[in-house]
Structure 1
Amino acid sequence: MAESRKMTTKEVANEKAERMMNGVAYWGAFYRKNPQRFCRDYLNIHLKLFQKILLYAMMLNNYFMFCASRGLGKTWLTALFCVVRCILFPGTKICVASSTRVQANEVLLKITDDFCKNYDWGSDLLNNEISNKSVGQNSAIIEFKNGSWIRVVTASDNGRGARANILIVDEFRMVDLDVINTVLRKFLTAPRTPGYLNKKEYEHLAERNKEIYMSSCWYKSHWSFDKAKAYVVNFLDATKKYFICGLPYQIAIKENLLSREQVEDEMSEADFDETKFSMEMGCMWYGDTGDAFFSFDDVSKRRKLKTAMYPPSSRYKVPDLAINERRILSVDIALMASKKKKNNDASSIMINSCIPTGNNNYISNIVYAENHEGLTTDELGLIVMRLYYSMKCTDIAIDTNGVGLGVYDFIIKDQLDPDTGETFNALSCCNNKDMEERCKVKNAPKVVWSIKANQSFNNEMCTMLRAGFKNGKINLLVSEFEAEEILKDKIKGFSRLSIYEQTDKKMPYIQTTLLIYELIKLNSKINGNNVKIEEQSGERKDRYSSLGYNYWVARQIEIKQKPQNNNKTNVSSLTALARKPKLYSH
């Protein structure tokens, strides 16, 4: 029997290295196919069943869309996917985008503040994988020792130039579609190219880039719904690697991620918004009702204004009037406060910076809005006078029917502001002789437009307002999410302000969102020759009324400014120009 040759030290080391690399290859392949087990075995993170399924789908498919209710932890799951992918696939490049950098940074903060700290030995192993982590307002990146990285990019035209293998768009419905198509998707050029692809026998293992979209549901008229429908079609095609899933709040309650009692309390509140809840919590796409008078598409595309207007303060100076600008303050009046299970209208105030164009038309720019509940007529009247004078307004549109008459009677007298000691001069009516005569202050400026709404006026107002949106003559403030980035650029130290101060600066933008919600939920019906606008049960229309009054006044001003044709034609003189008819014989 031949004696076995004793292996050299080098051969022993090589054999050991080969066995180890074979083990790495085996376990690497296993965990790539079973990412949920990698989370348990390596990161010490134990997942819920739905999280395991979604994580597997994210690893498997090239196109992934998750429409989730609030509280399901979609940002947490996105961050976990990033970590798993970067570890198991060396050299992976991931770009994370959202409507704001703050939202996009949340993905990386889940890694640095949660995964890297709260999972005992799993956190130790993760920290050992990472070579650098930095999450700031201007730059956010996490780099791994194997060459992978995760980076936050700006979802705007300024974000061009980045390159990635995986694109993640968090809250994608808030990002402009053109930015996604022309900027973000262009990041995905060459896919990940591990060294083994240089060998011919492994060419067929080339990888595809990935696109991942996460958000709550939104309106059916929005582009995000069309994208979701396209994903459904491709999801059903077995030849394509698409995945789409929507999970409502009931899953979060079942998995103890959300308190059932908390949801029930929210649903019992007087100002509970069923539509918004169904979209953000119920994972339901919302469409305009058959009787809806204003479409979401017509209204939302007019959100073009980036700069709101505010009452003067130490930080803010109200801009002077532009040439021929009319600054119109409108108020729809309701004095009873909402109570549990009874959602009363509020007093809604809006300011319109009405700017003339070259052809004597006016563009209405709704730059400020606020709502009040439970005020007396004097308290509301004082707010109206404060805003009129401090915001340099030129006109007031006020509902003088019912309780509105009390507010009108307040502003037609000289008033003293008890908080500042400032005296506000009386204001008089400009469009109604009877209302003008109620003002006893001689030479009071005639700037108040008295609105006496009736069936005919309401018909004129609603049709005029809808035409204004369709014809592009009304501009609204952008969303509060876009506003956050704008305010950071405009207000020094905005991020260091208190939550209350930040919210106060975002409030005109938030009120604009609430206005849109209100408009698209209004129903219409034909009453004789007029259109009648009605709110759904439990809904409001105070913001609609205030905007309608405001735009109606803007149109009256526009009509007055247009040159009148006073040249009268003498019909009898035209007879001399008439030619004698030519007779034809048969």
Structure 2
Amino acid sequence: MMTSYNNFQSNSAKHTKNRLDVRNPDFNNTVEMKTENQIDNFTRNLSKYKDFVSWCRWNPDLWYDLITPETGGIRLDLDQRVFLRSIARFLSTYGVFPRGYGKTLIEVMGMVHAAIFYPDIEISMTAQTLQNASSIFEDKWRELIRFYPLLKNEVAGNPSFSKDSAEVNFISGGRIDVLANAQSSKGQRRKRLQIEESALLNNALFEDCLEPIPNVPRRTIGREAVINPEELNGQINFFTTSGFRGSDEFERNLRMLDEMAELKGKMVIGSDWQLAVNYGRGEPKSALLDKKSKLSPTFFAMNYESKWVGASDGAIVNINKVIDLRTLSSPEFKSDGKSEYVISVDVARSSSQNNNQTSISILKIKRSKDGKILKIYLVNLINLPNGLNFSAQAIEVKRLKLLYDAKIVVVDTNGVGVGLKDELLKDTVDPITGDNLGCWNTINTDDDPESSESEKILYALTSQGINHDIIVNFIDMVESGKLQLLVKNTNNNYDINDKEHVRKIYPHTQTDLLLEEVANLKIKQLPGGKFTVEQLTKRVDKDRYSSLSMGLWYIKAFMDKTREKVNLNPHDFFLMRKPNIYSKH
């Protein structure tokens, strides 16, 4: 810290010798009454130390410059300096940045800076889960002390990291730890919050659990222990990649833009992938342009262009409701041995090389004691590679049926889906293992299977006449909360060559793409009163949505064992006018 002070002193303006202290107007007079020998060096330079600390608090990027080693440190770019100063100077900052920008490291730099210069302050980073928050903070902390070794001198004891906790204490008395964006954080108290991946945040949960956390302001240390009115007490910052239009966080973003214009202490910042690339950070431009040509346009817009996507008006469902359905922590890759599973397949052209792909939803049913369906879990979502012919697709579908011991397989047989249906009605042998995968029969058509011993498991769905019912049922499943989806995977710190880990996060990624498809759909009412859906952009397909909605419709139509009670009016059975005493409720 003395090195930092000396560098500051050499560049600072000349200080006034006799200045008054805000808390003690007679402070300098008392000092002057003492002889020069009676005044220690710290007291003699106290006003300069105060100016230095104020300067460091106001200019976090310049302070990091002071402690940057000659080799191996970070040379902050202009946009990173604006980012850091926003955290240090505004009551609330909303940052929307692309993948690979380095936003989380700057977040942690802002937290560490505050923990050093505000004694006894308590700051938390929050994420979707404690495990996720701990992993993120630990990774960025280790990166930070590698770039700035002098930070080790500010730490008290050893930092503590585990699977679901992280804590760093500083000699200033400051502390940084982690919390989850969940009910488990309710009742906690901190002085400031940094919310990671805020686009996933549920506003009701935020207002109930997170917003009250920094309600108690920090008091200065010392005998008076006062509240500094100029400090950013209760600061909550939000940082994320972009999400969906119409979501709670999209609306928060718009509100904070207005409050920024009204000078209410709010700041909204962000960029797309080009800013970091132009500074030489992250992936090269050629690699990102290659991704843009291959990835879903919605996925690229959200993750690299920082665009909020989807329909805000006329959407098929409220996207906030869909985000709230993401409660499943991990996918399932085979049957648990006791639950019912349904497989639903939306068929694409076998020779297609565009976004159209055969999509397979694995649905798990949870029932009450009386057989009523309580929940339907989308435990896995699979898209078959482009170019697979119908024979290869049939092999994959039959393999999945065996893995999950599925009760029924729903296949879209509109148009090209007939080709897959025909292959499923044949006796199939696994070309890798040599095992017989069986021959299937339909339960709702007169098609003849290849074998007389075929299993009646295939429901050949043709959506003509029931498309309206499929849409209405999908809306009901979302609105009622019966449907449950996999959570978003926010931990990107893994080896791409670790095939097992990639396999585990693949269903989470497919669920992300499902939400993109749903956000791209608008509901439209036809002249006859029936509903249909249309895509905002044809470049985003709806294979995953179709696969899921067909499976949900079949479960509701044929597998729900209970019937809702219907209030019958006995006069409905007579050809006479109903008396007025009967009213329709």
State the TM-score bracket (shorter-chain normalisation).
0.7 to 0.9
Most deviating of 546-555 and 522-531: 522-531
Offset at residue 468 of structure 1 (A): 3.8
- After superposition, the C-alpha distances for 1:229-287 in whole angstroms (9 at most, x for unaligned) are 3322332333x322222323232233222432222222222xx2222322333222224
Offset at residue 440 of structure 1 (A): 4.6
**Is 1:507 aligned to residue 524 of structure 2?**
no
Check the 8 A contact 1:321/1:392 in 2, yes or no.
Answer: no
**Is 1:366 aligned to residue 386 of structure 2?**
no
Distance 2:119 2:281 in 1: 32
**Is 1:273 aligned to residue 304 of structure 2?**
no
2:471 partner amino acid = C
Match of 2:269 in 1: 245
Match of 2:167 in 1: 141
Match of 2:143 in 1: 114
Q: Name the CA shift for 1:467/1:256 in 2 (closer, same or farther; >3 Å).
A: same
Identity of aligned residues (%): 21
Offset at residue 382 of structure 1 (A): 1.7
Match of 1:540 in 2: 541
Q: Secondary structure at the match of 2:65?
A: helix
Paired residue for 2:88, among 35, 59, 67? 59
Distance 1:573 1:237 in 2: 68
Check the 8 A contact 2:441/2:456 in 1, yes or no.
Answer: yes
**Is 1:192 aligned to residue 218 of structure 2?**
yes
Q: Name the CA shift for 1:556/1:207 in 2 (closer, same or farther; >3 Å).
A: closer
2:296 partner amino acid = D
Q: Name the CA shift for 1:17/1:559 in 2 (closer, same or farther; >3 Å).
A: closer
Match of 2:344 in 1: 330
- After superposition, the C-alpha distances for 1:89-127 in whole angstroms (9 at most, x for unaligned) are 222221111113454346644664333223xxxx34322
Match of 2:467 in 1: 458
Distance 1:215 1:572 in 2: 60
Match of 1:489 in 2: none
- After superposition, the C-alpha distances for 1:39-87 in whole angstroms (9 at most, x for unaligned) are 2123455422222223222222222222222333211111111222222
> Unpaired segments of 5 or more residues in structure 2?
1-31, 580-585
Offset at residue 298 of structure 1 (A): 4.6
- After superposition, the C-alpha distances for 1:391-422 in whole angstroms (9 at most, x for unaligned) are 11111212334443343233334433343343
**Is 1:352 aligned to residue 366 of structure 2?**
no
Offset at residue 223 of structure 1 (A): 1.3
Check the 8 A contact 1:337/1:344 in 2, yes or no.
Answer: no
Distance 1:346 1:519 in 2: 16
Distance 1:412 1:61 in 2: 65
Match of 2:551 in 1: 550
Paired residue for 2:388, among 355, 363, 375? 375
Structure 1 stretches of 4+ moved >6 Å: 495-498, 569-575
Check the 8 A contact 1:65/1:214 in 2, yes or no.
Answer: yes
Offset at residue 304 of structure 1 (A): 4.3
Distance 2:205 2:564 in 1: 43
Q: Secondary structure at the match of 1:84?
A: helix
- After superposition, the C-alpha distances for 1:546-578 in whole angstroms (9 at most, x for unaligned) are 22332332233158975999x9x9999888x99
2:512 partner amino acid = T
Q: Name the CA shift for 1:349/1:146 in 2 (closer, same or farther; >3 Å).
A: same
Check the 8 A contact 1:79/1:110 in 2, yes or no.
Answer: no
Match of 1:314 in 2: none
Q: Secondary structure at the match of 1:330?
A: strand
Paired residue for 2:455, among 445, 450, 460? 445
Residue correspondence of structure 1 range 340-419 to structure 2 within 5 A: 343-356=354-367, 362=373, 364-373=376-385, 374-419=387-432
2:255 partner amino acid = A
Q: Secondary structure at the match of 1:37?
A: helix
Check the 8 A contact 1:329/1:352 in 2, yes or no.
Answer: yes
Check the 8 A contact 1:39/1:46 in 2, yes or no.
Answer: no
Match of 1:264 in 2: 289
Q: Name the CA shift for 1:415/1:478 in 2 (closer, same or farther; >3 Å).
A: closer
Distance 1:383 1:160 in 2: 45
Offset at residue 534 of structure 1 (A): 4.2
Q: Name the CA shift for 1:90/1:460 in 2 (closer, same or farther; >3 Å).
A: closer
Offset at residue 293 of structure 1 (A): 3.7
Q: Name the CA shift for 1:265/1:572 in 2 (closer, same or farther; >3 Å).
A: closer
Offset at residue 448 of structure 1 (A): 1.6
1:442 partner amino acid = S
Paired residue for 1:309, among 332, 340, 343? 332
Check the 8 A contact 1:480/1:506 in 2, yes or no.
Answer: no
What's the TM-score, normalizing by structure 2? Answer: 0.80
- After superposition, the C-alpha distances for 1:106-151 in whole angstroms (9 at most, x for unaligned) are 6644664333223xxxx34322222232333233222222222211
Distance 1:289 1:11 in 2: 71
Residue correspondence of structure 1 range 37-52 to structure 2 within 5 A: 37-43=62-68, 45-52=74-81
Check the 8 A contact 2:326/2:488 in 1, yes or no.
Answer: no
Q: Secondary structure at the match of 2:267?
A: strand
**Is 1:104 aligned to residue 118 of structure 2?**
no
**Total equivalences in the alignment:** 535
1:509 partner amino acid = H
Q: Name the CA shift for 1:159/1:545 in 2 (closer, same or farther; >3 Å).
A: closer
Match of 2:20 in 1: none
Distance 1:463 1:572 in 2: 29
Q: Name the CA shift for 1:277/1:574 in 2 (closer, same or farther; >3 Å).
A: closer
Q: Name the CA shift for 1:141/1:426 in 2 (closer, same or farther; >3 Å).
A: same
Match of 1:234 in 2: 259
